[in-house]
Amino acid sequence: MKELIEEMDENEMKYALTEEVFNKIDCMIEEKKLPLESAIDFLKHIGYYEILRNISNTNYMTSSLRKKFDEILIEEEIKKEDRNEKTRSDLCECCILLNCLFLSESISNYVPNLLKATLNKVENEDAQKEVEIALLALNNIAYYYDIEKALYLNEIKEIMKYHMDHRNLTPLAYQSAWKFLIERVRKESSLEVIIANELHFGREASRELTELAKLLDAKRKSKTKGDMEGKVILRWLNTISFYFLNCKLWNKEHSVIVGSIASLYKSTKNYFEDIRMLCIRSFVSAAGNRVVKVRTLLKNGAVDVFLEEIHQSTLINNNFATSLEFFEDLCERLKEEMERKEDEIKRKETKRKVLEKLEEEGYEDIIVSFHKTHPFMTSGTQYMMKTKKTCDYFVHI
C-alpha cells in the first residue's frame, strides 16, 4: 500500500484519500484487524507525500479516525505513569503531517518530542528517514503557531551544525530544518542574526541549490526520475523568497544566494518550468526588499535573468508582468537613492550599468513597444498600470 501511495500523483492522492478511507482505517483498528502502530506508520507515510505534493486534504479532519487519535493523545497527556512516549510522539507526528490543527498550548508539549526524534545521529537509511519525517512535521507547524524560542533554538542549531560537519541529513531533512527556523523570523525577528551570521544561511542555501541542480541535471540526462531533487529545490526557493521578504539586516551572503539562483535559472529554464518561475519570483522578493542591494542584483545575474525573460515574453505571458514588477522595484529604488546625496556616485554607476544592459540588445525598445500596445492586453488592468509606470521610469529616470 505504501508503494501505491508513492506512485500516485497529486490528483490521484487527492481523490483517493476520502473521509470514507480514513473511517475504514478507524474501523480496522477498532476491530483489531490493523495494529495501531501499523496504522500510524501508514498514515505518516500518507502525510509525508501530501506535504511533498502540496496537497491540502481536509478529509482526515472530519473523519472518525481523527476523533480516535485525539482521544488517544488526550489520554496519554493526562497519564502520570506508564505514558507510552513513542506512541505519543509518533501519533503527534502523524496528526501534524496530516495537517491537523491543535490548541496552541498543546503544540508546546509536542515540539520537544519532535525535536528529540530529530537529534538521532545514527546514519543508516531508516534512522535518516525518521529524522526527515520529524523535521517535515516540525516545519509544518512553524508558520501557524507561537512556539517559545527556548523550546527549539538550541536543538535546531545543534542539528544544523552537526550536519555542516558530517552531512548526515537527507537534503529534504536539512531544507525542512531551515524552513522551520526561517519561518520563525516572522514572530522572532532576533533569529535573523543567528540565521545569517552564525548559521550562514546564504552559504548553505547556495551549496544545497548547487548540489541539487547537479543531481537533477544528471538524472535528466540519464532519463531517470528527479522528482525528489526537484521538489526540494522548489522548497528551497520558497524558503529563500520568504527570507528575502522578511529579512531586515543586510548580509554579504545575499550576493551568494542571488548568484546561485541565477545559475539555477540558466541550467533549468528549458526543462523545469516550476523551478524557472520560482527563481523569477524569488528575485522579485529580493528586489522589493530594501536590504538586498540593487548592485547585488545587477552584479550577480538577477537583472540578466529578467532581461532574458522580457526578450522572450509575449503579451499573454505572465512572465512579462513579473519582469516589469522587478524592474519597477529597481527603478523605484534608484529613484530613492537619487534623493540621498551620499549615494550619488554609486547610484549613477549602478544606473549606468542597468541602462547599458537594457540598450545592449534593444531591451528598452521592447519595453516601450509593450507600452504602445498595452490597451490590447487581456489579463486585466494590472498589466496596463505596471507597463505604463515602468516605461515612464525607464524613459525619464
Are 168 and 162 within 8 A, CB to CB? Answer: yes
Check residue 314 and give its pLDDT: 58
DSSP secondary structure letter of residue 185: G
Q: Is residue 125 part of a domain?
A: no
What does pLDDT average to over the chain?
83
Q: Is residue 26 part of a domain?
A: yes
Residue 308 — very low, low, confident or very high, per pLDDT cuts 50/70/90?
confident
Residue 22 — very low, low, confident or very high, per pLDDT cuts 50/70/90?
very high
Q: Is residue 139 part of a domain?
A: no
Count Cβ atoms below 10 Å from residue 316 Cβ, excluding itself.
Answer: 10
| 207-241 confidence digits (pLDDT tens) | 999 999 999 999 998 888 778 999 999 999 999 99
Q: Report the pLDDT averaged over residues 325-338.
A: 82
Check residue 345 and give its pLDDT: 72
Check residue 317 and give its pLDDT: 60
**Distance between CA atoms of residues 247 and 395, nearest Å:** 32
Q: Report the pLDDT averaged over residues 8-25.
A: 91
Between 142 and 220, name the one with better pLDDT: 220
Check residue 392 and give its pLDDT: 46
Q: Is residue 318 part of a domain?
A: yes
Whether the per-residue pLDDT at 397 is higher than 50: the answer is no
For residue 85, what are the contacts with CB-CB under 8 A and spacing of at least 6? 113
Residue ending a domain, choose from 67, 101, 135:
101
Q: Hey, CA dihedral for 292, 294, 298, 299, is it positive or negative?
A: negative
Q: Is residue 183 part of a domain?
A: no
Q: Report the pLDDT averaged over residues 370-396.
A: 45
Indicate the range of 121-130, 248-257, 337-346, 386-395 predicted with least confidence: 386-395
Residue 390, C-alpha cell as written in the block: 515602468
Residue ending a domain, choose from 101, 126, 158:
101
Task: HSE, CB side, 13 Å, CA atoms: give it for residue 376.
Answer: 8
Q: Is residue 237 part of a domain?
A: no
Q: Is residue 392 part of a domain?
A: yes
Whether the per-residue pLDDT at 337 is higher than 80: the answer is no
**Distance between CA atoms of residues 90 and 47, nearest Å:** 12
Residue type, 354: V
Residue 59 belongs to what domain range?
1-101
Q: For residue 277, what are the CA distances in angstroms to 280, 292, 312, 323?
A: 5, 20, 14, 11
**Distance between CA atoms of residues 141 and 128, nearest Å:** 21
Report the predicted TM-score, pTM, of the whole model to 2 decimal places.
0.84
Whether the per-residue pLDDT at 259 is higher than 80: the answer is yes
Number of domain units in the chain: 2
Whether the per-residue pLDDT at 354 is higher than 80: the answer is no
Check residue 203 and give its pLDDT: 96
The dihedrals phi and psi of 207, each to the nearest 5 degrees, come to -65, -45
Q: Hey, CA dihedral for 95, 96, 99, 101, is it positive or negative?
A: positive
Strand, helix or coil at 34? coil
Residue 186 — very low, low, confident or very high, per pLDDT cuts 50/70/90?
confident
Residue 70, C-alpha cell as written in the block: 485525539
In whole angstroms, how large is the CA radius of gyration of the chain? Answer: 24
Whether the per-residue pLDDT at 367 is higher than 70: the answer is no
Residue 143 — very low, low, confident or very high, per pLDDT cuts 50/70/90?
low
Residue 396 — very low, low, confident or very high, per pLDDT cuts 50/70/90?
very low
Residue ending a domain, choose from 45, 71, 101:
101
**Distance between CA atoms of residues 186 and 183, nearest Å:** 6
Q: Is residue 352 part of a domain?
A: yes
| 43-77 confidence digits (pLDDT tens) | 999 999 999 888 888 899 899 999 999 888 888 87
With CA atoms as reference, report the closest residue to 274 among 310, 233, 314, 213.
233
Residue with cell 535573523: 192
Q: Report the pLDDT averaged over residues 165-193.
A: 93
Between 145 and 184, name the one with better pLDDT: 184
The CA-CA-CA angle for residues 54, 58, 63, to 5°, reads 140
Check residue 196 and give its pLDDT: 93
**Distance between CA atoms of residues 194 and 276, nearest Å:** 30
Residue 340 — very low, low, confident or very high, per pLDDT cuts 50/70/90?
low
